Structure 1
Amino acid sequence: MFLFTPLALGSYWAVIPFLLSVPMNVFRIKSEEEVLLRELPGYKDYCLKTHYRLIPLIW
């Protein structure tokens, strides 16, 4: 959605913040998972059942 909204509105400059948001979201997801693994009981078992973090069959 973040990628195609600027294109649909005709603002190609708005694609740049989208490209910057991808690595920021990946970093955020990884750091949140570290905290959850450390502090939430049962989260490690959940991770063993759920193989993908964000995009099924990819990541």
Structure 2
Amino acid sequence: MAGQIKITLRKSISGSKPVHREALRGLGLRRINQSVLRKDNPSIRGLVFQVKHLVEVEEGA
């Protein structure tokens, strides 16, 4: 786990739980189809796991 991952918000956060909104804010995602590059580490993986139903992840980006 040393590279980067590309995280893209694919679904709306409307109606989602506050804990999921906080996880998306921590990842830096605000709008649908917005993508961010983050280091591949356990803390980022934990945030992605919480919102895996809302995002798409590309490894080695």
The two structures have a TM-score, normalised by structure 2, of 0.27
The two structures have a TM-score, normalised by structure 1, of 0.28
Q: Which entry has the higher C-alpha Rg, 1 or 2?
A: 1
Structure holding more strand per residue: 2
